Amino acid sequence: MTDPTAPPTPPVPLAALLAREDLGLRQIAGPDARAAGTAVQWVHTSEMADPYPYLLGGELLLTAGVHITDPAGAGVYLDDYVARIVEAGGAALGFGVAPVHDTVPRALVEACDRHGLPLVEVPQRTTFSGVARAVWRLMAEARHAELRRVTEAQQGLATAAARPDPIPAVLRQLAARLGGIAVLYGPEGTELQAAGQAQEAAGQAQEAARDALRELTSVVRRGTPGAPASAADTAGTTHLAAYALGGGRGFALGIATDRREPGDHTIAGAAVVLLSLLTGEHQGATEAARSSALVRLLVGASPQDVGLLLGSDLWTVVHARGERTALAASALAAALGSALVDPRDDVVRLLVPADREISPTDGWTLGVSGSVPPADLAAADAEAARALRRAEATRLPLVRHHANGIAALIAPEEADAHARVLLAPLAAGEPLTLTLRTWLSLHGSWDRTATALGVHRNTVRQRIARCATLLEADLDDPDVRMELWFALNRAP
């Protein structure tokens, strides 16, 4: 699973930064960056004596040592300083030589060696902003290369699906793109088609990997209540992945590779969609029921009347933001085990049966509603939208809506009436209501609210100040915030 705090861009190898002659960086302590495979996810500059609260993990932390007032006698202090960086998950420490210190303090070098933190000397001619710019540029190049690889793979898979022997052709293309083996399994776990081979595994090791892959696909094959749509594992040094194919007929795709690249899951998702179409029935009973439900809705039937035709009493609404292509949306739907997907320009909406497990999916940010009957899908849609905004603001791959337990103690009609009266001054300002709800959900964070809404933090401050004026309320009062949060959750 992807680290929930990781940014949506590939990390940069620290060795790649050290290789840049224009930067002149030099590693002087800690494990060798190339041998250890140290990767930088972002750059942070801080002169705090304890930067731990401000680190998310994976940073190249840059400092000029302003906080080191006595280099000769700072052994204990610098040991604690480095230990805190390591505890926070920092990837490396960059120390700028001059104007504060002429050389890197010896005690800092020893502390980094002791705690296993790579220490990089930044020469006087190199600015910290220049280091950050180099990291973002390398990230952009890596992201571009990854997107090109994924796009070419998707095109190759689509071309293979149009061949006279589409299933073997898709498996061959998938195995070649991922550098491993791709296997199609039948409902009973029988190996129906296979292509490729692991590049390094051979003999008994490869056979053991095939056995482990067959066992892993049994976890995702349809027919088992609550079975996940995908699963991953390892067998020795071989990476294994299994995907349930859509259609509910028990087919599964198994993949074994010697390495795992960031775009592999997206490429596999495209193959899952194509293989689901190739192995599925054109118009099975489930598809016919859904078509019937759609027709009845269009001619005026209520959601309650058609809910059972959809195959589930309870549903979960998912809002997802990621790659904006119909193929990627279909791959996401297959990964979540649902064919009810509505791809739009900005957000993909899905209806997922409530008994399906919804897990973080590479390349996507998900907001998940509570489980509701068909009549309450509109409310669940709003829950999923709020959950997605919170996920984006907190940089989490998945956030679920959690209902307020106290709300269950109050009659819904009374709660709704109270919410209407309390929020009446904001009735004409939808941006104000949305901003206030987002701001409260993020504990009054200006930056995270601005990120969630896609506006400048000053705009957030202006809107919140306007809300306070219209409501004649002190928004710093926790009691006021609690009452407003309750009301906003009752508002449509």
Strands 180-185, 191-196: pairing kind = antiparallel
Per-residue pLDDT of the chain (492 residues), as tens digits, is: 344 444 556 788 999 999 999 999 999 999 999 888 899 998 999 999 999 999 989 999 999 999 998 888 888 999 999 999 999 999 999 999 988 999 999 999 999 999 999 999 999 999 999 999 999 999 888 888 888 888 898 888 888 887 777 888 899 999 999 989 999 888 777 888 888 875 444 556 667 788 888 888 888 875 555 667 888 888 888 889 999 887 566 788 999 998 888 788 889 988 888 888 877 644 444 555 666 666 666 666 666 666 655 666 788 899 998 876 665 676 677 667 777 788 776 788 888 888 778 888 777 899 999 888 877 788 888 888 888 888 887 788 898 887 655 554 455 667 677 777 888 888 766 788 888 888 888 888 898 888 888 889 899 999 889 888 888 888 888 888 888 877 877 665
In terms of Cβ atoms closer than 10 Å to its own Cβ (0-12, 13-18, 19+), residue 332 is buried
The pLDDT score that the predictor gives to residue 165 is 74
Assess if CATH 3.10.580.10 describes domain 163-279: no
Here the tokens at position 363 are 């390349």
Distance separating alpha carbons of residues 18 and 33, to the nearest angstrom: 9
Nearest to 7 by CA among 453, 399, 398, 395: 395
* Dihedral sign for Cα atoms in the order 86, 90, 92, 97: negative
Q: What confidence score (pLDDT) does residue 2 get? A: 42
Q: 221's torsion region: left (phi>0), alpha (psi -120 to 50) or beta?
A: beta
Torsion, CA 166, CA 171, CA 177, CA 181, rounded to 10: -170
φ, ψ for residue 445 (rounded to 5)? Answer: -80, 120
* CA 368 – CA 226 distance, rounded (Å): 17
Q: What class, spelled out in words, does domain 12-139 have in CATH?
A: alpha beta
pLDDT digits (tens, 9 = 90+) for 35-76: 888 999 989 999 999 999 999 899 999 999 999 988 888 889
Under CATH, which number does the domain 407-490 receive?
1.10.10.2840
CB neighbours of residue 362 within 10 Å: 17
Q: How far apart are CA 311 and CA 290, in angstroms?
A: 8
